[in-house]
Amino acid sequence: MMAQYLEIKEAHPGALLFYRMGDFYEMFFDDAVAASEALDIALTKRGKLNDQDIPMCGVPVHAAEGYLLTLIRKGFRVGVCEQLEDPAEAKKRGYKAVVKRDVVRLVTPGTLTEDSLLDARRHNFLAAFAEVRDESALAWVDISTGAFNVMTCATNRLSPELARLTPREVLLADGSEMEKVVREAGAAVTDLGRSAFDSTLGEKRLCSLYDVASLDAFGSFTRAQISAMAAIVEYLEITQKGNLPLLRTPVVEGETANMQIDAATRRSLELTHGTTGGRAGSLLATIDRTLTAAGARLLERRLSSPSRHLETIMVRQDAITFLTEDSKLRGTLRDCFRSVHDVDRALSRLALDRGGPRDVAAVRNTLTQAEQVAAYLNDDMPALLAQSAADLTGHNELLDLLDQALVAEPPMLARDGGFIAPGYDAELDEARELRDEGRGVIARMQQQYAELSGVNSLKIKHNNVLGYFIETPATHAEKMMTPPLNETFIHRQTTANQVRFTTVELSDIETRILNAGGRALEIEKRLFSSLRSQVIGQAGRLSAMARALAELDVCCGLSDLARAENWVRPVIDSSRAFELKGGRHPVVEQALKKDGETFVANDCELTDTNIWLLTGPNMAGKSTFLRQNALIAVLAQMGAWVPAQSAHIGLVSQIFSRVGASDDLARGRSTFMVEMVETAAILNQADDRALVILDEIGRGTATYDGLSIAWATLEHLHDVNRCRALFATHYHEMCQLADKLDGVANATVAVREWEGDVIFLHEVRKGTADRSYGVQVARLAGLPPAVVERAKVVLEALEKGDREGGGKQKAIIDDLPLFAAVAAPPAPQTKIEPSKIDAKLKDIFPDDLSPREALALLYELKELAR
């Protein structure tokens, strides 16, 4: 057995080997050591090799999926090695013959299909990046749904595209220089031999997969695109051991089809992931009202890839507008969606022979709901709804077949049996009748034997070793084994508390029952295989139905959101307009609603002046204002309604965001270096249709260095990039640029001062801020009062020197103890005497006051206040 194990392991050196032994997957040697640590399971030993103990650990087969998920998340790959024959067959070759085993599947991050290993509401992409001479391309597939896409992708675009798709695993040719980029994107890297990326052989491989003579029927592909797609197919053949999933025909995605959003901007805007890395706090979590898994995945794709095609956006808007206005239809459709299953993933499991009766039932139940949904739609509705209705119909023959064949609630596994409905197959009904009648016969025999023996506690039982047997308590052993009973009851086994017997009649019945039960199960398995083939044969039409349901689910969810949150349909055109009235941040607004607070809406107009220079105090809401306008642009171009009173947006080609401070110590970058790298990417890539939001450029270095960088950056955006931009800063000197540059306007976030406190109004107005109120914000943050008072003294001195000029500031700084060469004296402490009211309140204990005393005290305090 160990020789067999080592031979199989040698063929799969990069994977942990789950070696099937009965009801367990066992691991040995280094695999066992690594797995026991990763899974926190006991490490034991079995046998010796070269006088050394062989480490061993194992997991139960029935619980293997949970352990697989843990291993995959920790970066392991797993080879699942199954027994390919029954142990009884192996014994026919000799007493010491080893059961045939082999790896039937390699489990990797990008090739998962089981529901328990996947997030139902997210895609699980496997990608491949290929370079052929001066061309490069990126292909990606979700084998759990069959979606297959490819695009031309320059090397400098790989990082943004990986940020958009978030694949779990990326295939690269051996020696590729892109490995660092892929790892930084958080994906697992798998190196394949360069032969897997050969475009000539790859074209033949793809033609064989789709059973076509040429790929021309699917579109025009570059050599790099064919290379990337072929590498994916080659890898799937390796990991699935030739049992390929259902892959849709590849779709070429244009480089200019979607709004370009780089990785830093996605993190800054928190489109699909919040600050914690999960969905919570993200825009996706805020807008997701889908009721189906496929709808949730489609919504995430739309949000990650807002469209730049005006016609596509308008079609989506028309459907959402129609459903927003017809609340009855929207509610009816959403009720239907609650019973829709994930057909794409069910089809994938069935194609890979990992599916069961419940997957076929999922198809049947979804077909039923699709018929109901189609009944509510017609050709007079917007184009998207009418087309969806067409894709939902025409499945009557398959639906009738599955309705007749399956019971209402089938088991998960075919080997459990009992999933074929009575009356569907006469041969099966006959076998079941014999099996079930046999159970009744056993019950009657038990009663007869109890009466014959006079032992009321006599039972007929069954196990896998003895089959059917008669069991009595040990106290009746002597009676059962002496005449005349021993002539009927044949002794088989004695245990501590029971004695077991059989009879000739019981053995005959057992043979009939076991044969009938096994025969019934074999018939059911054969019928399941037939149903599976029928379903897979219509996979293309079923996938189209699933896509239509997902499209409708997304439209209904977005219209429900628009109606509930008072969002509006934006005007989208090919102009350079950007006019928002009463815009709101969708995520912040929802969070405030939970606390019973109201979000302050603000206007934004970047049509006449392309750039707003935004000043104002910390904590006033500048970053929120910047982000909300970018998020509104994303929502508008994914086809959704937006949180505003009105919106007019000219198509945005790119969105760039440089908001917030963070370092990247792992790559040796300080906060300021990260800020400069991201700013450089914006200035080098932004075109005249881009929307750029920048916050506090230059704050990570010396004041005049930072001011000069921010100044030059704004000038470059205005003169060279000529894009629409929101530029927030605390450098008030930059407000002068509004007088020098025609496309720049000043705006500020309003505040009020009241008795030394700052009140944030969160209102964006035209104009400039007089100061940043940093000291007041520091006090709100809880800095010690002495520090705050000292900061006020220093700030006043610095501002005085700045006003007087001519070196006065330097002289004043030298006079401040803060900058003196000797030990600075303590800051003056202001002693505040308590008022009469304070003194009175100090001696009051509210719990001791009666209502009359409290009223009298209130009058007394009022008198003192005068």
- Token pair in block for residue 561: 């959101």
SS3 810: helix
- Token pair in block for residue 193: 């031999």
| DSSP per-residue letters across 609-641 | SSEEEEE--TTSSHHHHHHHHHHHHHHHHTT--
> What's the CA gap between 748 and 768, in Å, rounded?
5
Q: How many residues does the chain have?
A: 866
> What's the CA gap between 666 and 664, in Å, rounded?
6
CA 379 to chain centre: 35
Widest distance between CA atoms in the chain? 128
> What's the CA gap between 20 and 103, in Å, rounded?
10
Asked if residue 618 belongs to a known ligand binding site, the reply is yes
> What's the CA gap between 154 and 365, in Å, rounded?
44
Asked if residue 581 belongs to a known ligand binding site, the reply is no
Asked if residue 622 belongs to a known ligand binding site, the reply is yes
- Token pair in block for residue 742: 């025609």
> What's the CA gap between 578 and 171, in Å, rounded?
41
Instruction: Convert 396-415 to b/e letters by CB count within 10 Å (16 or more is b).
Output: eebbebbeebbeeebeeebe
Asked if residue 394 belongs to a known ligand binding site, the reply is no
Q: Which of 452, 764, 427, 458 is nearest to 599 (CA)?
A: 764
> What's the CA gap between 343 and 364, in Å, rounded?
9
Amino acid at 90: A
Residue with tokens 């230059």: 698
> What's the CA gap between 848 and 327, in Å, rounded?
58
SS3 136: strand
Asked if residue 517 belongs to a known ligand binding site, the reply is no
Asked if residue 241 belongs to a known ligand binding site, the reply is no
SS3 245: coil
> What's the CA gap between 266 and 637, in Å, rounded?
16
> What's the CA gap between 221 and 149, in Å, rounded?
12
Asked if residue 623 belongs to a known ligand binding site, the reply is yes
The annotated binding site for ATP is made up of: 616-623
Would you list which residues are annotated within the binding site? Answer: 616-623
